[in-house]
Amino acid sequence: MVASPDLIDTHHHFYPPEYQKAWLDWEDERKIPHFRQQVGWSVQAALADMDQAGVKTAILSLASTPGVWFDRGPAAAATMARACNEFGAKMVGDYPGRFGLFATLPMTDVPATLREIAYVFDVLKADGVGLQTNYGDVWPGNPMFDPVWEELNRRKAVVYFHPLVAACCGRLSVGTFPAVIEVPHDTTRAVTSLMLAGALVRNRDIKWLFSHAGGTVPMLAGRMAFFFKARPDAQAIAPDGFEAEFRRLYYDTANATDAAPMAALLKLVPESQVVYGSDYPYVPMDAQVTALRSLKLADSTARAIEVGNARRLLGARLR
C-alpha cells in the first residue's frame, strides 16, 4: 500500500532567516549545540524533501523552544512573530498549493497577541495559529489567555500546539536529553490545563490540534477521567464526560507512527480526529510515511489520516 499522492503534512517546521539567526545566537549564548536540521533548513530543501516523501502540502509552524522572544522582552517577541508570519505567508504565496501557515503569536503580551491574530487572519489569511504548550511555565488554561481563546473561538480558528521542555522539568530526563520524555508530557499538561480551566467547553468553535498523538494523553486518558470525575466542577467542565472531551480534540501522528502509540490513539479517538504530521526536519518525512503505511491500517483509515481529515479541518486552501 503506497502513500496518498496528495499527502498533507500538518507538522512541518520552518526557519525564517531572522528567526534562524536569533535562535543560533541564543544557543551560542548558552553553549547549546546547534541542531543540524535547523542549520541546514531552506525553502528549496524543504520542497525537495516534500517531493521525495510524496507530500503535496505542508502546513508551516515554528518549532517551540525558545519561542519568539529569546529573552528579549515582549516587544521583541511581537516583532519576531510578525517577521516569521510574513515569511511564512510569502512561502504560501510563492508556492501555491505547497504550503499552508499556522501563524505564531507572541502570547506573553495579550494585547499584542490580539493585534497579531487580526493581522494573520485578516491580512495574511493564515490557516490557523501554532502555539507552544507553555509560556515560561504558564500553561494555556491560565486565565491570562482567556481573551486570546475568546477571539480565536469567535474566528472558529484551528489552534495547533507544539510542546517544549518546561523550565521546571528539564533535569528530569534520567539519562537522555530532555525532549525525549518531557516534550510529550508537556502536551498532556497543556490538554489538562485547558480542560480543567473550562477553556475547552467555553470555546467550542476552536478546533484544537495537538502534536505527537497527544503526547501521553492516550495512555493517561482513563486515569485522568477517573480522578477528574471527583471534582465538584466536573459537570461544568466536561458536560458529556471527560472521555468525550478527549475525543473532540485533533491529534497529529508526528513521531508517533509506531504500532503502540497509534493503537492507543485510535482506541481513544475516532480516526476522523487524526491528521498526518512528520515533525520535519527533525524526523524525515519519508520515514513517517513508511512507518504509517507499515501499520497496515485499512486503506480508508490511512487515506483519512493522510489527506481527508486535514482537508476537512483546514478548509478551502487544501481542496
Average pLDDT of the residues in 85-106: 97
Q: Of 43-47, 67-71, 113-117, 243-247, which range is least confident?
A: 67-71
Q: Of 78-87, 105-114, 199-208, 281-290, which range is least confident?
A: 281-290
Q: Is the pLDDT at 17 greater than 60, yes or no?
A: yes
Q: Is the pLDDT at 181 greater than 80, yes or no?
A: yes
Q: Is the pLDDT at 141 greater than 80, yes or no?
A: yes
Average pLDDT of the residues in 52-63: 94
Give tens-digit pLDDT for 27-45: 677 666 655 555 578 999 9
CA pair distance 26, 28, nearest whole angstrom: 5
Average pLDDT of the residues in 192-198: 98
Tell me, what DSSP letter sits at residue 173? Answer: -
Would you state the pLDDT for residue 26? 67
Would you state the pLDDT for residue 35? 56
CA pair distance 136, 151, nearest whole angstrom: 22
79 — pLDDT class (breaks 50, 70, 90): very high
Would you state the pLDDT for residue 179? 81
Would you state the pLDDT for residue 161? 97
pTM beyond 0.85: yes
Would you state the pLDDT for residue 73? 74
Enumerate the β-bridge partners of residue 122. Answer: none
DSSP 66-117: TTTTTTS-HHHHHHHHHHHHHHHHHHHHHSTTTEEEEE----SSHHHHHHHH
Would you state the pLDDT for residue 241? 97
CA pair distance 119, 136, nearest whole angstrom: 25
CA pair distance 27, 271, nearest whole angstrom: 39
Q: Is the pLDDT at 171 greater than 90, yes or no?
A: no
Average pLDDT of the residues in 101-129: 97
